Amino acid sequence: MKIGFIGLGIMGKPMAKNLLKAGYELVVLDRNKPAMEEVIVLGAKAGLSNVDIANQCEVIITMLPNSPHVKEVVLGEGGIIEGAKPGTIVIDMSSIAPLSSREIFAALETKGVELLDAPVSGGEPKAIDGTLSVMVGGKKDIFDRCYDIMKSMAGSVVYVGESGAGNIAKLCNQIVVAINIAAVSEALILAKKAGVDPDLVFQAIRSGLAGSTVMEAKAPMMMDRNFKPGFRIDLHIKDLNNVLETSHGVGVSLPLSAQLMEMMQAIKLDGCGVEDHSSIVKYYEKLANIEVTR
């Protein structure tokens, strides 16, 4: 099976590499030529355009920053829709607004083209080792047909429901992640301000009920002052914006998510938008006038 892959960023590039490792024939496209070359040297072929990829691939994966980018690549001038044949499957693994996923689904359906919205969670480390969590919306039979493809990049692939459900699940994930990072930040700031080694507090609580995947990944980064982006503040702001727009649309209040959005906006204004979302700790450090270190 020939698979197209559009979007070789922090997440997309290692995901494409894992597809190659699984033995799939891959045609890739990205504006970043060095990223393309890195995947091509491993056996992928270069796509000439979105239409070119749609002309030659049965399945096309997109991994792009946000809703407008996916709409442009799929539905815009020279987009996938212009080259895709009836029966082609698009798997959008970007994290975008659920309404946008449903709009793209409806537009492709008129051409006989299928869409799964299949956003991922786990950040760059899990993209590299192929243990991402994938949450999928769309037709169940299309999900079943594409399960093995997605599983080659992931540790968990779960069908959530009809079109848009995958991105709803991703928004729920991003709420929990953001609030969890903030909670870890508060705890370590309290420890440091009280004169207790934050690393020893981390070691003491990590195996109890407070322990989490987020704590394991982000607490060491905070204490080591390592804010190299696995998932940027800018992208989490994008996701929380989609969270709040969706919550307002369905009529639910999410006060903690709204607070985290404001905290991340403050961090962005301090020049940390391109840093990892573990830099939320800097918001608390500024308030407490202290730095969390081991």
Split at pLDDT 50, 70, 90, the class of 123 is confident
Backbone angles phi, psi at 273, to 5 degrees: -60, -30
Whole-prediction pTM: 0.90
Domain 169-288 belongs in CATH node 2.40.40.20: no
* pLDDT at residue number 270: 97
Q: What mean pLDDT do residues 162-178 have?
A: 97
Percent of the chain with pLDDT over 70: 100
The tens digit of pLDDT for each residue in 171-194 reads: 999 999 999 999 999 999 999 999
Rounded distance, CA 240 to CA 258, Å?
8
* pLDDT at residue number 264: 98
The tens digit of pLDDT for each residue in 212-262 reads: 999 999 999 999 999 999 899 999 999 999 999 999 999 999 999 999 999
Q: What mean pLDDT do residues 264-283 have?
A: 97
Query: SS3 for 46?
Result: strand
Q: What mean pLDDT do residues 185-209 have?
A: 98
Confirm whether 21 is a catalytic residue: no
2-162 and 169-288 have identical folds: no
Asked whether the beta carbons of 144 and 243 are under 8 A apart, the reply is no
Q: What is the largest CA-CA distance in the chain?
A: 65
Q: What is the DSSP letter of 130?
A: T
Q: What mean pLDDT do residues 101-121 have?
A: 97
* pLDDT at residue number 54: 97
Rounded distance, CA 28 to CA 58, Å?
13
The domains of the chain are located at 2-162, 169-288
3-class SS letters over 131-166:
CEEEEEECCHHHHHHHHHHHHCCEEEEEEEECCCHH
Q: Which of 13, 17, 126, 170 is catalytic?
A: 170
Question: Per 3-state DSSP, what percentage of the chain is helix, strand, and coil (rounded to 5)?
Answer: 55, 15, 30
Percent of the chain with pLDDT over 90: 97
Rounded distance, CA 184 to CA 276, Å?
15
The tens digit of pLDDT for each residue in 28-58 reads: 999 999 999 999 999 999 999 999 999 999 9
Residues, the chain, total? Answer: 294
Q: What is the DSSP letter of 269?
A: I
According to CATH, what is the number of the domain 2-162?
Answer: 3.40.50.720
Split at pLDDT 50, 70, 90, the class of 117 is very high
The tens digit of pLDDT for each residue in 10-21 reads: 999 999 999 999
* pLDDT at residue number 230: 86
Asked whether the beta carbons of 249 and 171 are under 8 A apart, the reply is no
The tens digit of pLDDT for each residue in 47-95 reads: 999 999 999 999 999 999 999 999 999 999 999 999 999 999 999 999 9
